[in-house]
Amino acid sequence: MQIKEVFQQNKKEIIIGIFVFLIVTISFALGYLTAEKLVQKTPIIIEKCSE
């Protein structure tokens, strides 16, 4: 019964915390996905040594 009472007393703070967590997670995911498109991988060119 203690958990239920704690939830009832702090319901607003818990909901705000959940929304903040979701917003941060979505922002990170979108930033990661868009940054992946901006970074272009350059091919590695191996040249033969002339001796």
Q: How far apart are CA 21 and CA 40, in angstroms?
A: 31
Q: Which residue has tokens 């705000």?
A: 16
Percent of the chain clearing pLDDT 70 (strictly above): 92
Q: What is the pLDDT, as a whole number, of residue 34?
A: 85
The answer to whether position 2 is within a domain reads: yes
What are phi and psi for residue 22, nearest 5 degrees?
A: -65, -40
This prediction has a pTM of: 0.61
The answer to whether position 43 is within a domain reads: no
Tell me the one-letter amino acid at 34. Answer: T
The answer to whether position 4 is within a domain reads: yes
The domain tally of the chain equals 1
The answer to whether position 44 is within a domain reads: no
Residue-range definition of the domain harbouring residue 27: 1-37
Q: Which residue has tokens 């970074």?
A: 39
Q: What is the pLDDT, as a whole number, of residue 22?
A: 98
Answer for the pair 7, 14: CB distance below 8 angstroms, yes or no. Answer: yes
